[in-house]
Chain A
Amino acid sequence: MLVLILDMKVVEMIVLDVAQNKSRVDLLVVKLLRDTGVAATISTDSMEFRVAVQKFVYLLQVVGGLDLGFKFEWLSMGPYSRGLQNHYQRISRTLVSNADSVAEFNDVEQSALDAVKRLLSSLEKSVARLDVKVLEIAASLIMLCRDVYPKPLDPVEELMMRKNLPREDVVRIWSAIDKLSICR
């Protein structure tokens, strides 16, 4: 939880996750959902939508270097942030209403979006598709090589040991990540 003191003259405690730069996350995620074409393949009330939101935000923070203030845990489906539960609905509303069409991004945000898109474009070339499963595999491999402790010797083998995934896809996705030096 994050405390937001909106008016220092009055003791005002808004004890919420929805605060400060976290409010920008909605626009950033919608931008990625649209630009990558993932939005067109999933329904906003589906599990896939939530997975996509989780993985896009993780990639924006880790690959894009944007501090959106979300903490990610290493769970069975890869990186997961509880704080994002507060955002699914807002992101869905923004997507449906096209409220993002007039959104402007500052240089740091644009640079983060570009970095994530570069990675996703590279992944798409490697496995000939970009869907939620590819996002899940990529985000999991990156978390394994960057955040998980103790660091596994081989992220591919670590992921394969835990998940029933097509090995060929995992290897190709890892190869694309490795080429971009994301884990070094």
Chain B
Amino acid sequence: MIRFAFREASRMHSVKRIYDEVHGYIELSEVELKIVESTVFQRLRFIKQLAAAWYVYPGATHTRFSHSLGAMHIMGLVASRLIDLGYVHSVDDVQLLRLAALLHDIGHTPFSHAIEPFYKHRLGVGHEDLSKIVILESSSIREVLSSYGYDPKTIAALLEGRYREPLYNQLLSSDVDVDRMDYLLRDALHTGVAYGSIDLQRIIATLVVDGEGNLAILDKGIDALENFYLARLHMYRTVYYHKTLVGYEMMLRKIYEYMNDYAEDPLLPKSREDIVRIARSGEIVLWHDDWFLGMMIDMYRKGRCRELKELIEAFFSRKGYKVVVDRSRFDMNPIDIEGDRDIVVLREIISSVKGRVEPHQIALFVDDIKILDEDPYIAPRVIVDGRASVPIVDVENSVVRSVPRRYHIKRLYVISSRWQDVKDYLAVRGL
């Protein structure tokens, strides 16, 4: 457990504290408590942080609720250090930053990142856009913020990285931001992946701002920063892109797609306007994992669509998509989607097994994960010898120089019931 001397408590009046499994007591100010008590925020108790990761790591049942509190808490610690150094301007700004961190995931879809790409693809709306919609359109959030003198548009601008103060944008969105710091610690704890943990105390204690206004780490904190990147790399491979876990996330996404075709429900928004509508009406409070599981049970019983019924049954009986071919690897460069030979091969395999599997029984997953921001423009910086501010990727003797920049994931999945047949077919053909 990470426990700190709670320095910002002396700056902001705390009216409640909540015990957190990662950080110990998390103190809440009056406005924060009002936000947390709102039904829109309570919704986050019903959204698992890691979607269906509990199908692989039984303990990974933690929620967006605790993560949001954790991100707010870390923001308080970081902002308190930066106010001491003169880079955060006032206690009011600390509160503003904590509110932004608290609300950063307020718009998350059911099953978090499993369903989010559905809206990103169909409507061009990601979870940051959803958070903005909720902050600006949900009267309960908007009114609480306004009644305490906080402009909801300012919170939205911070979450979009458009706030006037570039440093504040970095605190909420950069390689080493408060969101990542909390989720690495929390996810490592709940999955039990010990090498996913980070030295939060050291990172915060050595955090400074360089002459250009960029976040930086003093060179005495470089080991903590290196460990942060290594932890992230391990978490990408062992948790976030674990082969079985990704299979279940794709299955949930496919079920959600079918459901949008076969079910009518206000919580299946078909447009950006629909999302705004459920945020305004308050119906959004039920838009969470449990609602979706209920819809799945309902659709399974009704059995209107054979393919959907098969997918739902496969999900509940833990006989989902299994990997038949995995060509994933680390790389130093971005993936070339058109020219990548592995992707061509995987697509050829899909064509060759048509007739053996139905379209909903086979799934291709390709992603290009950026392990670190190699762009010197925004890469975290290290203050070397108390003078030069150097991007971590350029620091001599840093192990980060050797860390692969990318993780290319290229996998072909087949539903469990057809897996052996396809596996045998591919083995005969030497694939």
Interface positions of A (Cβ within 8 A of B): 1-5, 9-19, 47, 50-51, 54, 69, 71-77, 80, 82, 85-90, 147-150, 152, 158, 162
Contact = CB atoms under 8 A, between A and B. Distances in A.
B377 interface: yes
Contacts of A72: 161
B291 interface: no
B377 A11 contact: no
A16 B337 contact: yes
A76 B164 CA distance: 11
B160 A71 contact: yes
A13 B377 contact: no
Given A3-B117, A13-B117, A74-B164, A85 B363 contact: no
Contacts of A158: 164
Contacts of A90: 334, 336
8 contacts: A11-B359, A71-B160, A74-B161, A74-B163, A82-B373, A86-B334, A148-B164, A158-B164
B45 interface: no
Nearest to B213: A76
Interface stretch (B31-39, B166-174, B194-202, B277-285): B166-174
Given A11-B359, A12-B364, A149-B162, A73 B334 contact: no
Contacts of B368: 16-18, 86
A147 B162 contact: yes
A13 B162 contact: no
Contacts of A18: 334-335, 337, 368
A85 B175 CA distance: 13
Contact of A149 (B154, B213, B335): B154
A9 B253 CA distance: 14
B366 interface: yes
Interface in B177-193: none
B118 A80 contact: no
A175 B78 CA distance: 39
Nearest to A158: B164
Interface residues of B, number: 49
B370 to A, nearest CB: 7
Contacts of B364: 10-14
B407 to A, nearest CB: 12
Interface of B: 117-118, 120-121, 124, 126, 151, 153-154, 156-157, 160-164, 166-167, 169-170, 173, 212-214, 250, 253-254, 333-337, 350, 359-360, 362-368, 370, 373-378
B124 A69 contact: yes
A10 B162 contact: no
Contacts of B253: 11, 13
Contacts of A17: 368
Contacts of B337: 14, 16, 18-19
Contact of B169 (A1, A50, A73, A162): A73
Nearest to B211: A164
A13 B116 CA distance: 13
B367 A50 contact: no
A20 B408 CA distance: 19
A82 B121 contact: no
Interface core residue of A4, A10, A17, A80 (most chain B CB under 10 Å): A10
A148 B367 contact: no
A165 to B, nearest CB: 12
Nearest to B391: A47
A86 B374 CA distance: 11
A125 to B, nearest CB: 28
A11 B363 contact: yes
Contacts of A73: 160-162, 169, 173
Contacts of B162: 73-74, 147-149
Contact of B164 (A4, A85, A149): A149
Contact of A82 (B254, B335, B378): B378
Given A2-B120, A11-B254, A13-B365, A150 B370 contact: no
Contacts of A12: 350, 363-364
A86 B157 CA distance: 25
A85 B370 contact: yes
